[in-house]
A = this chain, B = another copy of it.
Amino acid sequence: MKQFISTEDVPGVPRLVDIALDYKKNPHKDKGLGENKTLGMIFLNPSLRTRLSTQVAARNLGMEVVVFNIDKEGWQLEMNDGVVMNGNTSEHVREAAAVMGQYFDIMAIRTFPGLKDKQEDYSEKYINQFIKYAGVPVVSLESATLHPLQSLTDVITIKERWTAPRKPKVVMTWAPHVKALPQAVPNSFAQWMNAWGEVDFTITHPEGYELDPKFSGSAKIEYNQEKALEGADFVYVKNWSSYQDYGKIINSDPAWMVTNERLKNTNDAKIMHCLPVRRNVVIADEVLDGPNSIVIPEAGNRVWAAQAVLSEILKNGK
């Protein structure tokens, strides 16, 4: 694996999941693999789980880790080519990425979308500029439109819980929120569910929240949440802003909040969320604190997802 931005970079999803689950059993078995290698973690935006779990994963592999909040500890980068840089940006990504590529063996980057310009966000300009100039393998810590470490984690979390001979019914449901959020997590979850293929996958949301078909792909779309959730084995809850009316909150119907009542016709479904979650807005306390929530072990699996990805790049990336 030479980079990790989307499913397209992954030779096989099931194999990567197996590698992650092996690390979960024996976190320090490859402590020599990253010896004398450095991971640079570059944040253009805040992070909790991704930041912390990836550090732990890299150290489990014996890598050095350097964390750099470039937005706070450095300065603003210019992402556009050909610009006369007489404004607020102090350094061009052409230099910043290339220089960091001189220091690090792998670069991991978090960069959120602006949610103003759909074309710019969906071209993944920011992370692609880093990839173009870094000269070393790049790992996404969430980019404008995808969050692959989260989605790999989600596959792992479903896989380790499902032993029945049939495919589990997985339903991703939109839920309300007070802010306009990126589509990165739902796009990515859909892309990975489709690439994995071992689930019966449905997406439910109010009309107007359709995701980019490039990512939703062959998923069933059902506008009636109650109907969608019938018989679900796993319910993946997430808010996102509109892709069509780009970056807008076009509906924030509180009836879409996930409650026990809403979940009563599922197949005793496990509840997943990438976190952070706004309690009693997106999901009710009773669900998060109930026996079916798996959001904490799901977050715990972030370590093994990151460790699988880093190990594959260390083995094959150069």
Q: Which residues of A approach B to under 8 Å, CB–CB?
A: 27-28, 36, 38, 40, 43, 46-49, 51-53, 55-56, 59-60, 64, 66, 68-70, 72-75, 78, 81-86, 90-92, 94-96, 98-100, 102-104, 178, 275-281, 285, 288-289, 295-297, 299-300, 303
CA distance A43 to B73 in the complex (A): 9
| Shortest CB distance A106–B (Å) | 13
The reply to whether A48 and B84 form a contact with Cβ atoms under 8 Å apart is no
The reply to whether B51 and A38 form a contact with Cβ atoms under 8 Å apart is no
| Shortest CB distance A310–B (Å) | 15
List 8 extra interface pairs beyond A90-B276, A102-B296, CB under 8 A.
A36-B60, A49-B99, A52-B104, A56-B66, A84-B281, A91-B275, A91-B277, A95-B296
| Shortest CB distance A95–B (Å) | 5
The reply to whether A64 and B73 form a contact with Cβ atoms under 8 Å apart is no
The reply to whether B66 and A48 form a contact with Cβ atoms under 8 Å apart is no
Contact sample, A vs B, 12 pairs, CB 8 Å cutoff: A53-B103, A72-B73, A84-B281, A85-B280, A90-B276, A95-B275, A95-B295, A96-B276, A98-B296, A99-B296, A99-B300, A102-B303
CA distance A22 to B299 in the complex (A): 39
The reply to whether B279 and A103 form a contact with Cβ atoms under 8 Å apart is no
